[in-house]
Structure 1
Amino acid sequence: MTSDSARPPASAGAAPGGATHDAAPDGARGAAPGGRRSESPGRLARPLIRLAHLHGVATSYIDQLGAYVENDDAAIAGVLAALGVDASGPEAIEASLRAELDRRGRQLVAPTIVATCGEATSVPVNCAPEDRPRAGIVLEDGTHYDGEPAIVPTDPADAPRHHQLLRAGMALTLPADLPMGYHTLVVEVSGRRATATVICAPKSIPVPPAVAERDRWGWMTQMYSVRSADSWGVGDYGDLRRLLADAGAKSGADFMLINPIHACAPVAPLEPSPYLPESRRFLNVTYIRPQDIPEYAELSEAERAEVDRLHAGVAPMNVSAEPMDINAAWNAKLPALRVIFRHGRGAAREAAFRAFVAEAGEDLTAWATWCVAFETWGAPWEGDWIRTTGRDSAAVRELAAGHAEEMDFQRWLQWIAAEQVGAAQQAAKDSGMALGLMMDMAVGVHALGADVWWSPERFALGGVTVGCPPDFYNQQGQDWGQPPFNPRYLEETGYAVYRDMVHAMFAHAGAIRIDHVLGVFRLWWIPQGLGAKNGAYVRYDHEAMLGVLAIEATRAGGMVIGEDLGTVPDYVRRVLADHGVLGTDVEWFARVDDSPNASDPYKAPSEYRRQALASVTTHDLPPTAGYLRFEHVALRERLGLLSEPVETFAASARAERDAMMARLVESGYLTAEEAADVEGHEQRVVEAMHAMLRDTPSYLKQAALVDGVGERRSQNQPGTSWEYCNWRVPLADGSGHVVPADEVFALPRVRSLAAVMRGER
């Protein structure tokens, strides 16, 4: 049995990590009524519309059906308010327009500049030629660039689009030999001084030599679902280390994609969804394995007995196929971790711990303080401390000072988690994997989490949340309940918070998958009280964010994959590909011309993208064995999620399966007889779908571990919160028997699927 959480759901419209779809932007294909596809000159001249565009707020879009949609004034004003811009009436709008134009007029240079390695970059300087501007560059390592950027007069019309409102009369040229990294440009003009962050990034993320040599394949799994005798009822980092080592050594895989392991509150009741973390900067400590901590071997007899007793209390859960009780698991593991922490460390280990704390800096203090506040003052969604205190509060300072040991304990947990994830990645590389661990980056963070509480300036908190507009999947739109990054803050701080997050992920991974990668370009902001359909798109500087990804991936020798499922504009896919970011192709969604009709034909494998991570399924669908048997139809009917008669949905699902069987027969992966009896040839059909996957040109191919063992149950049902046991389903085979982490790659069915992925069948 599972324990219900008192934590509020992310939203009523979609579970975090569920399928997300997005309407197409202006310029996307599709005809609007009357042929109209853009705003009229009269609308564009309106002060509110001009103000919105100045702040990167789109005021119209093309929806999924190709219809032109204009955002209403209330939604636009609400989004502007979240950006700190007053658009409450005509006079306020005019004042805000003047204020923004005046701000730009006084700005010497943009606060963040994106440069491309090997290319000279022109940067507008907002001054007159007679002002005699001077400039210098401080490199990332603190040294000064040898030389001074050339400064010449320029025409403001030649400035990049996002700088055109600068009254620039000059431009400086960043040199082509500027090294990759984050540098500081210093500009001085007539006693005025301005600095800007220069993100100097490779034009494209290079394909790692091992992947360029030949296409690579790997596994996808929900790591918490795979347990062993040493687990505490939930899969942990020790199980992950074993999975990675065996996947490489025994199956020949080159990577393993896992669920997000961002930091969630280590206080019961736990949040099951890995897509709703309280911080994306740190790791989920509930996945720590106490027995793998070096100090465990040094415990006294009494201390060891206590840890072992706690483990024995939850160990029977490891062989149960019932939904996992994540709270019982953590309630046993937490006191065991305290025993090990209080035992202490030797001098060398203590020095390593303190070095970790120093490097993590204020962000780690923020996380530890939030955790202590949670434990001491109660859940942030039940009390008022989350709204009445902050990092500068006297109460917060007193709390930290009065709970010094607990603060250190929370920091220690992060250190141990980082060590264990690092050990898992090292095991992957030692087993011969080309990439090893592939981490998943969630879209955002919990509105009442540590990141938002300690650093509210990083987010737009004026009553907005993120989601998507109405589409085929939800006619009311979706509200994911998460606050968005403030694009103005990101620009003014050189994207430092984003840099730190990406760097921390690549410290332990060979690749990163970005959930809802469209968020790098724009997000649908929803003002409070207006409903998900009444929002507006806010643009982000995708060149800056892709530049950060390119720098960090290049330094790590890694790869970046963007989850670009659903209706994603063609230009987004082109830009991502130009920057070396792989897309995501899924067999069940890969119809000819991207048709949404279930009965339409599927693409031949040769038509898949080269720059992609290709897979048969995703975590938002039942495992392939279950999907083939229409488990999703039965589940959605049981949960009351259908907006049409079950007979209609079932007919659509059967048409979809028939179309897939037709593709497999036509391409020679199945016989007509096998396709006509799917239930009688389940494993054969599953392997045929993976054989077709193997024949795609995609750089990376991915098999789901649930497909290897024959599991049929869904890990996640989008559109639900507590109606289904999302993110708590343990790995079991088709007969309902639990599959242990140390046995999974010895199973004949898993070995057979691995042989298919290696191209041996």
Structure 2
Amino acid sequence: MTNATQREESAERLARPLIQLAKASGLSTSFFDQLGTYTEISDEALVAVLAALGIDASSDEAIAHSLELHDRHQRAQLIPPTIVATVGKTTTVEINCNADCDITASITLEDGGTFEEDLDALPDLDSAHPTIALPGSLPMGYHTLHVTADERTAEATIINAPAHIEVPAAVAEHHRWGWMTQMYSVRSHESWGVGDYGDLKRLLADAATKSGADFMLINPIHACAPLSPLEPSPYLPESRRFLNVTYIRPQDIPEYADLNAEARAKVDALHDCVAANNEDAGPMDINAAWDAKRPALRIIFDAGRSPEREAQFEDFKKNAGPDLDSFAAWSLCFEVWGAPWGDNPWFKETTVSSEAVQQLIAEHRDLFEFNRWLQWIATEQVNDAQQTALDSGMALGMIQDMAVGVHGLGADAWANPERFAAGGVTVGCPPDFYNQQGQDWGQPPFNPNYLEATGYQVYREMVHFMYEHAGAVRIDHVLGLFRLWWIPQGLGARNGAYVNYNYEAMLGVLAIEATRVGGMVIGEDLGTVPDYVRQVLGEHGVLGTEVEWFARVDYSPNAGDPYMPPSDYRRQAFASVTTHDLPPTAGYLNYEHVELRKKLHLLDDPESFRKSAEAEQHAMLDRLVESGYITPDVAADVPAHEQQIVEAMHAMLCDTPSLLLQAALVDGVGEHRSQNQPGTSSEYSNWRVPLADANQHVILTPDVFDSPRVQSLSKIMRDGTATNK
């Protein structure tokens, strides 16, 4: 139910057992959409989402029983399984027992040592239960609290995090700027038809030395399937714990240089069979690239390694832990038994420890080892790219992008299904101005109850891994730290429900990992985001996201409303002109987003959407004219002044107080085509559009930062001045 005037749930609705059960289980039973319209979650969606959490709400009797089980669990829990504390502050933990219980408590530190200070149980004047005070002297990190109350014992993970992520000194002294690119889209003659980690290394070095940039945001480089056909979207990975090995450059592996003549000729021939694709401006053939590269990598793997290199590989495997073995086992099952989707039963019928899987590993040990080796090589090349960025003078280097979730039939979901919601529930978002029909991203969400019970171990490992080779991490759809839109199978994106998460725990993890490397956290807080979310993120030192096309006065969602002056942007923000979900700015100015959505039947009312886009553009031009970035004559003829207007929008960006400013490489070269159209899959060549100029001439990696147009935009980002300003 939606209601433009209602602001809260009625007393009658709140009294319903289903609503009480949903709220007790962490569900939001109503919300405000992007236009501020009050909306109630349907009973059908609530029942289905509760089932995905293992809670039966299928009947009145089941609801009553589930409420009783919830209350019983609450009474039995001695301490919460996860406790979030703040470094330097005392944190009180309530012990769920009688006031006269005999309580002892201790803390095991993250490094295995014992926290030496005594933990005294104290009465709580506001409760019938005693408390324990965790002192402010507890060091930052992940620790374990042990509590005994009479004959009951319990353990809890303590996430002891800084209250605020400090801004690195290099960023605090003045704002920094950098580039955004889909790294796979930028290719060189050495590429295999798709941009790779070798191209990334060159881009980072050239961006630093030739344009003066301090960072480069790239698409997610999470792991994908081991065989083609590959999923094009980097936002639908098979695992967020490991890397995309299809981006490896074989020629940069040390062992390539040591190949004998015959083996090297085979690798070079495989490269040559796809090399011509590097100069094709059409959609990239990612499968042809991987089908050629994978056997080349196998040749290099089979050639062996020196004892020193073998020791490094062994250290990598040891440090990666059991999740690496699980990922390699999933890859092996995929390769030998076939893709897990379709009618193939192995995904549902086996686990990592299944006898059949262990037998498969024994029979194909070389292939299992090959998959572990690929992760090692990918990690080496990504680390090398980041180190090159820093050595070239960048303040931050790479900014890694964290996808919202993983593929429902991927390695993470197979190896550890208990981490995810059950019953085919997927993540997406309700209707908004990105997509009027809502979005279903096809990813199973983390089960918040599992995260709490395990001290967020899986999230901690993932975040730690990303910061090993990044100066900052961008959290796609940062609202997911607070709540996620769960879509029950068969109900459609419109008929979902928000499930709440312990954002303090996940922000604590981000704060610990960012602080340990002097890094930053960026939250993509666009779309349907409540005001309190932005406030909480700001308090924790997480940068928000400002996009010029959305930065209207009071963040109005209405196209045509006036745009705010640049001085009103948030300081604690990552500001840009555009995003990867919009066409490049030149294309946006030419209404290519309107024509594409119309062509793909994504609009309920195409004519109305066209009018709103025109109103939006007129409002932007008015802002540029009013602030002196362009003249009225330029605004009156957009096609004739396309580059000038694009650069004026970036000059306006430079006049904002935001800490980090971003320009897109596609805006630098004058590209018009969208990289991605939300709400589509095979209908459009998402994530396969190579970097090209306005005339669809491919721009190769070595030429990007020598391009006069890129140099022109670089000067504006460095100096903050457009031609007409």
TM-score normalised by L of structure 2: 0.97
User: How far off is 1:474 after superposition?
Assistant: 4.5
Instruction: Say whether residues 1:493 and 2:454 are aligned partners.
Output: yes
Query: C-alpha distance in 1, partners of 2:29/2:610?
Result: 39
Q: Aligned in 2, Cα 1:189/1:575: closer, same or farther, shift over 3 Å?
A: same
Q: What SS does structure 1 have at the residue aligned with 2:611?
A: helix
Task: Map 1:442-453; keep pairs closer than 5 Å.
Answer: 442-453=403-414
Query: C-alpha distance in 2, partners of 1:68/1:683?
Result: 42
Query: C-alpha distance in 1, partners of 2:534/2:258?
Result: 53
Query: C-alpha distance in 1, partners of 2:614/2:152?
Result: 69
- Counterpart in 2 of 1:205? 165
Instruction: Say whether residues 1:619 and 2:589 are aligned partners.
Output: no
User: How far off is 1:272 after superposition?
Assistant: 0.5
Query: C-alpha distance in 1, partners of 2:579/2:112?
Result: 44
Residues 32 and 66 of structure 1 are in contact (CA less than 8 Å); yes or no, is this contact kept in structure 2?
A: no
Query: C-alpha distance in 1, partners of 2:603/2:430?
Result: 20
- Counterpart in 1 of 2:31? 61
- Counterpart in 2 of 1:333? 293
Task: Map 1:132-171; keep pairs closer than 5 Å.
Answer: 132-155=102-125, 169-171=129-131
Query: C-alpha distance in 2, partners of 1:40/1:651?
Result: 38
- Counterpart in 1 of 2:390? 429
User: How far off is 1:46 after superposition?
Assistant: 2.7
Query: C-alpha distance in 2, partners of 1:75/1:639?
Result: 28
Instruction: Say whether residues 1:263 and 2:223 are aligned partners.
Output: yes
Q: Deviations over 1:222-260 (max 9, x none)?
A: 000001111000000000000001101111100000111
Query: C-alpha distance in 2, partners of 1:215/1:494?
Result: 36
| Residue number among 515, 526, 533 corresponding to 2:487 in the alignment | 526
User: How far off is 1:537 after superposition?
Assistant: 1.3
Q: What SS does structure 1 have at the residue aligned with 2:146?
A: strand
Seq. identity, %: 67
Task: Map 1:472-483; keep pairs closer than 5 Å.
Answer: 472-483=433-444
Residues 208 and 394 of structure 2 are in contact (CA less than 8 Å); yes or no, is this contact kept in structure 1?
A: yes
Residues 436 and 603 of structure 2 are in contact (CA less than 8 Å); yes or no, is this contact kept in structure 1?
A: no
Instruction: Say whether residues 1:183 and 2:127 are aligned partners.
Output: no
Q: Deviations over 1:438-496 (max 9, x none)?
A: 01111110100010011000001123111223445545433222111000100010000
- Counterpart in 2 of 1:321? 281
| Residue number among 118, 124, 138 corresponding to 2:88 in the alignment | 118
| Residue number among 539, 557, 571 corresponding to 2:500 in the alignment | 539
- Counterpart in 1 of 2:530? 569
For structure 1, which segment, 45-54 or 195-204, has the greater mean C-alpha deviation from structure 2 after superposition?
45-54
Q: Aligned in 2, Cα 1:51/1:423: closer, same or farther, shift over 3 Å?
A: same
User: How far off is 1:558 after superposition?
Assistant: 0.6
Instruction: Say whether residues 1:291 and 2:251 are aligned partners.
Output: yes
Aligned length: 720
Query: C-alpha distance in 1, partners of 2:9/2:598?
Result: 42
Q: Aligned in 2, Cα 1:60/1:156: closer, same or farther, shift over 3 Å?
A: farther
Q: Residue type matched to 2:406 in 1?
A: V
Query: C-alpha distance in 2, partners of 1:104/1:44?
Result: 21
- Counterpart in 1 of 2:514? 553
Instruction: Say whether residues 1:307 and 2:277 are aligned partners.
Output: no
Task: Map 1:273-422; keep pairs closer than 5 Å.
Answer: 273-382=233-342, 383-422=344-383
Query: C-alpha distance in 2, partners of 1:202/1:645?
Result: 49
Q: Residue type matched to 2:509 in 1?
A: V
Instruction: Say whether residues 1:753 and 2:723 are aligned partners.
Output: no
Q: Residue type matched to 1:388 in 2?
A: E
- Counterpart in 1 of 2:101? 131
- Counterpart in 2 of 1:100? 70
- Counterpart in 2 of 1:607? 568
Query: C-alpha distance in 2, partners of 1:376/1:215?
Result: 51
Query: C-alpha distance in 2, partners of 1:364/1:273?
Result: 22
Q: Deviations over 1:25-73 (max 9, x none)?
A: xxxxxx955x542233343233222222221112222333433333232
- Counterpart in 1 of 2:681? 721
Q: What SS does structure 2 have at the residue aligned with 1:723?
A: coil
Residues 137 and 148 of structure 1 are in contact (CA less than 8 Å); yes or no, is this contact kept in structure 2?
A: no
Q: Residue type matched to 1:610 in 2?
A: R
Residues 215 and 399 of structure 2 are in contact (CA less than 8 Å); yes or no, is this contact kept in structure 1?
A: yes
Say what the alpha-carbon RMSD is for the aligned residues: 1.6
Task: Map 1:667-686; keep pairs closer than 5 Å.
Answer: 667-686=627-646
Instruction: Say whether residues 1:40 and 2:10 are aligned partners.
Output: yes
Query: C-alpha distance in 1, partners of 2:368/2:485?
Result: 37
Q: What SS does structure 1 have at the residue aligned with 2:100?
A: helix
Q: What SS does structure 2 have at the residue aligned with 1:434?
A: coil
* Unaligned stretches of 5+ residues in structure 1: 1-22, 24-30, 158-167
Q: Deviations over 1:263-303 (max 9, x none)?
A: 01121001100000010000000000000000001101111
Q: What SS does structure 1 have at the residue aligned with 2:28?
A: coil
User: How far off is 1:386 after superposition?
Assistant: 0.9
* Unaligned stretches of 5+ residues in structure 2: none
| Residue number among 523, 536, 541 corresponding to 1:580 in the alignment | 541
- Counterpart in 2 of 1:643? 604
Instruction: Say whether residues 1:736 and 2:696 are aligned partners.
Output: yes
Q: Residue type matched to 1:643 in 2?
A: D
Higher relative contact order (CA 8 A, sep 6+): 1
Q: Residue type matched to 1:154 in 2?
A: D
Query: C-alpha distance in 2, partners of 1:313/1:156?
Result: 74
Q: What SS does structure 1 have at the residue aligned with 2:719?
A: coil
User: How far off is 1:153 after superposition?
Assistant: 1.1
Query: C-alpha distance in 2, partners of 1:233/1:62?
Result: 45
User: How far off is 1:402 after superposition?
Assistant: 1.2
Query: C-alpha distance in 2, partners of 1:724/1:528?
Result: 24
Query: C-alpha distance in 2, partners of 1:747/1:735?
Result: 14
Q: What SS does structure 2 have at the residue aligned with 1:758?
A: helix
Query: C-alpha distance in 1, partners of 2:280/2:3?
Result: 54
Query: C-alpha distance in 1, partners of 2:683/2:491?
Result: 26
Q: Residue type matched to 2:200 in 1?
A: L
Q: Aligned in 2, Cα 1:90/1:178: closer, same or farther, shift over 3 Å?
A: same
Q: What SS does structure 2 have at the residue aligned with 1:702?
A: strand
TM-score normalised by L of structure 1: 0.93
Q: Residue type matched to 1:110 in 2?
A: P
Residues 34 and 527 of structure 2 are in contact (CA less than 8 Å); yes or no, is this contact kept in structure 1?
A: no
Q: Residue type matched to 1:79 in 2?
A: V
- Counterpart in 1 of 2:477? 516
Q: Aligned in 2, Cα 1:717/1:552: closer, same or farther, shift over 3 Å?
A: same
